Amino acid sequence: MSRFLAGEFRPLQGEHTETGLRVVGHLPVELDGLFTQIGPAPAGSPRRAWGGHYPWFMQDGLVCGVRLQDGRARWFRNRWIRSRRAAKSLGMSPAEGPRHFPHDSVNTNIVAHHGLLLALVESGCLPVELSATLDTVRYTDLGGQLPRGFAAHPKIDVSTGDMHLLAYSPVRTWAEHIVITASGRVSKMDRVDLGGRPLVHDIALTPGHVVFFDTPVRFHLSSGLAGGFPYRWRDSHQARIGVLPRGGGPVRWVAVDQCFLYHLVGAEETPGGGLAVRGIRYERLFDRRNSDPLAGPATLWEWRIEPGRDFAHGQEIDDQPQELPRSDPRRQGLASRYYYAVTNEPGNDKHGLLKYDFQRGAAEHRRLESDHVPGETVFVPSASSVAEDHGWLLLFRYDAARDASDLVVLDARDIAGSPVAVVQLPVRVPVGAHSNWITAGELPGPENP
């Protein structure tokens, strides 16, 4: 049986609204907002779960969230995105709105922008508008502004409020660099030729560029038709970094040694016109021997791109296996000193967290108990300081002993110390894709569950 059908990934039965949540410790009053997670989880029978294969990435989208306000945990809710398949499993009508793609499961990320709370997926489908209480409102093309699909990992430039994304699809050999202003207007939609159909999950911003990886993980139709994940490793394709000028112009391709990345830690412009790109690198993934989307290890690497050179040598700069890097959102598009990630130790089930300091070139660690499994860790800055580590780390943590989850709040300056607060949830939050903090000011109203 697939590991994604057991333990911390085990599918959840039913939708829940829970109030009167127990808090151990003291929730900071400054934390006024909604902590969310979205991930693949079947609303009914697991999709295509036969012969030991189970394409976890392709399951229905489940959204979970805890509303924090006035030092209290007001409520917990979980809701499935009302895709055609999930709605049928739940005995309900699917959400209205356009899709632009045959597969309409939205299960990867959540972003708040221009007054909307949007659930996202990549590879062609449009976003789903959510209410402040995580109910599905509609699929949206932003008032007809999106003729094709969207992306799962947009980045918001805090200096302008513009949201940048690279939208790709397996039905096209090109992507689109889309820019959406803080008011919700699509101000740019430029074609980026890819010369194939790669899996492009993430991007990084610098003041002048959008940076992304094009790797040997490519669309594989026969794998999808056979019921598996429709992307496979192809040795014939050279891994490369795409450097796209934000002001317009052709993409610059820089070859790198073969690898795969889901997530970039960031990129920054260096003296003399170069770039430093950092990301969580897998040596190889999705080959014929292993279709597990989370097979590791993946470690922190850096590539230095120099003017006039068409190859960038990569270097491992931290050997701790890790994933899901997150930094201070106020530094988006700028150099960051710190980032935070989930860790695991090879050969066992020991999980933890790390805080990496680029200035010191070293990481601090927090080891978790053997029956605790963390979700993505999100840094929430304190409004009283501009320091990159003055704030809190929030994460969902699965507790196998209780078969339930907690929302854990840590002091980002003391990652190994006792939690500031633990919100005990009466239900389990299956380990998912991405978590996010949505401030009260970003939530669409009304918000009573």
- pLDDT tens for residues 254-284? 999 999 999 999 999 999 999 999 999 999 9
pLDDT of residue 347: 54
Query: Where exactly are the structural domains of the chain?
Result: 3-442
pLDDT-based confidence at 223, cuts 50/70/90?
confident
Residue 362 has pLDDT above 80, yes or no: yes
pLDDT-based confidence at 346, cuts 50/70/90?
low
Taking residue 331's Cβ as centre, other Cβ atoms within 10 Å add up to: 18
Quote the CA–CA distance of 356 and 100 in Å, as a whole number.
Answer: 40
**Of the ranges 77-81, 108-112, 342-346, which one carries the lowest mean pLDDT score?**
342-346
Residue 319 has pLDDT above 90, yes or no: yes
Q: Provide, rounded to the nearest whole percent, the portion of the chain with pLDDT above 70.
A: 96
Residue 349 has pLDDT above 70, yes or no: no
For the ranges 332-346, 348-362, 424-438, the one whose mean pLDDT is highest: 424-438
For 5-48, the pLDDT digits (tens) are: 888 999 898 999 999 999 999 999 999 999 999 999 999 988 77
Radius of gyration of the chain (CA): 21
pLDDT-based confidence at 75, cuts 50/70/90?
very high
Taking residue 276's Cβ as centre, other Cβ atoms within 10 Å add up to: 17
What are the CA-CA distances from residue 144 to residues 69, 139, 184 (Å)? 36, 12, 12
pLDDT of residue 198: 96
Sign, CA dihedral 441-186-61-213, equals: negative
The pLDDT mean for the chain works out to: 93
In the three-class reduction of DSSP (H, G, I as helix; E, B as strand; rest coil), residue 145 is classed as coil
Q: Which residues contact 51 (CB under 8 A, 6 or more apart)?
A: none
Residue 230 has pLDDT above 90, yes or no: no
Between 58 and 229, the higher pLDDT residue? 58
CATH superfamily of 3-442: YVTN repeat-like/Quinoprotein amine dehydrogenase (2.130.10.10)
By the 8 A CB rule, do 398 and 3 touch? no
Quote the CA–CA distance of 415 and 412 in Å, as a whole number.
Answer: 5
pLDDT of residue 4: 87
Alpha helices in 47-199 (DSSP H): 84-90
pLDDT-based confidence at 248, cuts 50/70/90?
confident
pTM for the full model? 0.95
Classify strands 163-167 and 391-399 as parallel, antiparallel or unpaired. unpaired
Classify strands 260-270 and 252-255 as parallel, antiparallel or unpaired. unpaired
For 137-167, the pLDDT digits (tens) are: 999 999 999 999 999 999 999 999 999 999 9
Residue 1 has pLDDT above 80, yes or no: no
Residue 227 has pLDDT above 70, yes or no: no
